[in-house]
């Protein structure tokens, strides 16, 4: 049984010049103990998907249609107070910059104890003891003393560990981690990745890991969903998507990763840029940048279709003969 199920999620932003559709029919599932990676360029809709699940969409953004189901309960239509009781207790969140998640005016211990007592029926002493245990579990040395320190007294990596401790404070079943390693150096990244994997294996929690780094995806995730222009264009087991990408966009992302075994002066790149919300092309949104695009790609939008162990939204896999790709 899936812990989280997102069904045909559509998110729109009404404006004076019309309504912009930022997410268009997003569907996926996450099982208990699984890490699902969500990857794509800036503007693909990764963070917006996470914000929609957590219930932190900024107005005028709204969920126009679709469903978000957490452990059999639909949560996309709940009001602010109802979602507030779910955030922290059933869904934890880890954001990219820990300084925006931690209040600089309070000690980390105060923030941890307050979060724990907001969701669990514990006394102040028991909540403090749990907070110290969480800091130890996330690798904070001398946790008994550091619990009374302020956020500015921690390094970037240690602050991120505190944020992870906050996300785990009420033992949530789902953790939405929005680029939790981007601002950290590679050695700290490896430690945070190991910590997230241990959380899944030891606690049975599910993690939705949002990142633009395919290397982090390869090291951390069980499955990956590749997003482009507000849609999922490929999804499947990590080893299959990375080693045998079936969508040209995924293949472009993989080709842009430096290969240490090859001596190159220039890296491969995907020509062009992510389209604006008010200028998404007809047909496949990737067709202006795709070296294999043909007439049908410019006319009809492909849905996700089976390509063996993965799903890919590309007309290359519909089983129909096609003309040679037009040259630019």
Delineate the domains of the chain, giving CATH numbers in brackets. Answer: 4-90+172-280 (3.40.50.300), 104-170 (no CATH)
**Residues whose CB is less than 8 angstroms from the CB of residue 83 and which lie 6 or more positions away in sequence, other chains included:** 54, 55, 75
Comparing C-alpha atoms, which of 273, 285, 294, 292 is closest to residue 313? 285
**What does the pLDDT read at residue 326?**
45
**Tokens representing residue 237 in the block:** 């087991």
What is the band of 276 on the pLDDT scale with cuts at 50, 70, 90? very high
Residue range 253-271, pLDDT digits in tens:
988 877 766 666 777 788 8
- pLDDT, average across residues 284-310: 93
**What does the pLDDT read at residue 154?**
93
Q: What is the DSSP letter of 87?
A: B
What is the band of 328 on the pLDDT scale with cuts at 50, 70, 90? very low
**What does the pLDDT read at residue 192?**
80
Residue 200 has pLDDT above 90, yes or no: no
What is the band of 191 on the pLDDT scale with cuts at 50, 70, 90? confident
Per the CB < 8 A criterion, the answer to whether 284 and 314 are in contact is yes
The chain-wide mean pLDDT, for the chain, equals 90
Residue range 21-64, pLDDT digits in tens:
999 999 999 999 999 999 999 999 999 999 999 999 988 999 99
* Comparison of pLDDT for 235 and 185, the residue scoring more: 235
* Comparison of pLDDT for 222 and 188, the residue scoring more: 222
Which pTM does this prediction carry? Answer: 0.90
Residue 162 has pLDDT above 60, yes or no: yes
- pLDDT, average across residues 293-301: 93
Length of the chain, in residues: 328
**What does the pLDDT read at residue 323?**
54
Residue range 103-150, pLDDT digits in tens:
999 999 999 999 999 999 999 999 999 999 999 988 899 999 999 999
Among the residues of the chain, which ranges form H helices? 46-54, 80-86, 98-101, 108-119, 124-137, 143-146, 156-168, 186-203, 214-220, 238-243, 248-255, 295-299
Compute the distance between CA of residue 115 and CA of residue 300 in angstroms, rounded to an integer: 49
Say how many Å lie between the first and final Cα of the chain, rounded: 47
- pLDDT, average across residues 198-207: 85
Q: Is 139 helix (H, G, I), strand (E, B) or coil?
A: coil
**What does the pLDDT read at residue 181?**
79
- Kindly state the percentage of the chain with pLDDT values over 70: 95
Residue 325 has pLDDT above 50, yes or no: no
- pLDDT, average across residues 187-199: 82
């Amino acid at each position: 049984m899936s812990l989280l199920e997102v069904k045909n999620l559509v998110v729109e932003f009404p404006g004076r010049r019309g309504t912009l559709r930022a997410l268009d029919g997003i569907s996926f599932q996450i099982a208990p103990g699984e890490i699902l990676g969500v990857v794509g360029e800036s503007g693909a809709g990764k963070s917006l998907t996470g914000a929609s699940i957590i219930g932190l969409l900024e107005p005028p953004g709204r969920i126009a249609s679709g469903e978000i189901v957490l452990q059999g309960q639909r949560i996309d239509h709940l009001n602010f107070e109802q979602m507030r009781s779910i955030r922290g207790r059933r869904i934890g969140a880890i954001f990219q910059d820990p300084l925006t998640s931690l209040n600089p005016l309070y000690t980390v211990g105060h923030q941890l104890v307050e979060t724990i007592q907001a969701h669990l029926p514990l006394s102040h002493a028991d909540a403090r003891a749990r907070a110290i245990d969480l800091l130890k579990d996330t690798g904070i040395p001398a946790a008994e003393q550091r619990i009374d320190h302020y956020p500015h007294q921690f390094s970037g990596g240690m602050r991120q560990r505190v944020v992870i401790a906050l996300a785990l404070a009420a033992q949530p079943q789902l953790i939405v981690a929005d680029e939790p390693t981007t601002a950290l150096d590679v050695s700290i990244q490896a430690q945070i990745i190991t910590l997230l994997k241990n959380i899944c294996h030891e606690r049975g929690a599910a993690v939705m890991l949002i990142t633009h780094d395919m290397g982090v995806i390869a090291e951390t995730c069980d499955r990956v969903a590749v997003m482009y222009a507000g849609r999922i264009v490929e999804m499947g087991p990590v080893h299959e998507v990375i080693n045998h990408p079936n969508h040209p966009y995924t293949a472009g992302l993989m080709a842009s990763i430096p290969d240490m075994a090859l001596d190159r002066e220039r890296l491969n790149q995907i020509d062009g840029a992510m389209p604006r919300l008010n200028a998404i092309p007809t047909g496949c949104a990737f067709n202006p940048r795709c070296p294999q695009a043909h007439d049908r790609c410019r006319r009809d939008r492909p849905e996700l279709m089976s390509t063996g162990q993965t799903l890919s939204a590309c007309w290359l896999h519909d089983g129909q003969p096609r003309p040679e790709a037009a040259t630019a």
